[in-house]
Amino acid sequence: MADAPGSAPLVIQAITEPQARAASTWRYPGPYEIYDHAPEDWQRFLVPGYRYQAVLADRELLGYCCFGEDVRVPGGRYPPDALDVGAGMRPDLVGRGRGRSLLAAILEFGRATYSAQAFAATVAAFNQRARALCRSAGFEEIHRFVNESDDPREFVILLRRPA
């Protein structure tokens, strides 16, 4: 896929089956592989309660986002008054300056669609780039924990309160 134009407006809409299938095949390098989905898990993107959305520019899939419980990592202490938000960006676009506009559009969508005032994001502790992006959008670290799984890793929960 070609890079989306930097000036193209971002559109967030319900994810379609072809988009879900595509996003489930994205592969990230090195330790970022923890963000990979199993290709056969594409149906998860279509579960209405998980509220997955496609993020597009010029009808091209740049990423996805979701809101609510599916974003949570077992073992974390989540604020009850914040909407959980998660996002993924197409691997070939990571590190190319699209993160801030993508996150801003996702947060605006969450505010407009779900009347969210506060947001919580969970990021792997090693992911300095994602944590810095969240901090630049007004998130603050509120909790660190090790997930409850056979592959324990440290995670950070960041909170963004209304200005």
pLDDT of 5 higher than 80: no
How confident is the prediction for the chain on average, in pLDDT?
Answer: 92
Question: In this structure, are residues 64 and 48 in contact, taking their beta carbons and an 8 Å threshold?
Answer: no
- With respect to residue 139, please indicate whether it lies within any of the assigned structural domains: yes
DSSP 8-state code for residue 8? S
- With respect to residue 149, please indicate whether it lies within any of the assigned structural domains: yes
- With respect to residue 4, please indicate whether it lies within any of the assigned structural domains: no
pTM of the model: 0.90
pLDDT band of residue 6 (cuts 50, 70, 90) is: low
- With respect to residue 1, please indicate whether it lies within any of the assigned structural domains: no
What pLDDT, in 10s, does the model give residues 7-25?
689 999 999 999 999 999 9
Q: How many domains does the chain have?
A: 1
What pLDDT, in 10s, does the model give residues 72-86?
999 999 999 999 999
Residue 68: domain span: 10-160
Phi, psi of 20 (to 5 degrees): -60, -45
Residue 29 burial (CB count, 10 A): 8
CB-based contacts of 80: which residues, under 8 Å, 6+ apart? Answer: none
- With respect to residue 90, please indicate whether it lies within any of the assigned structural domains: yes
Q: Find the CATH number of the domain harbouring 104.
A: 3.40.630.30
- The whole-number average pLDDT for the span 114-143 is 96
Contacts by residues 105-108 (CB-CB < 8 Å, ≥ 24 positions apart) = 105/10, 105/12, 105/55, 106/12, 106/53, 106/55, 106/65, 107/137, 107/160
What pairs with residue 67 in β-bridges? Answer: 85
- With respect to residue 2, please indicate whether it lies within any of the assigned structural domains: no
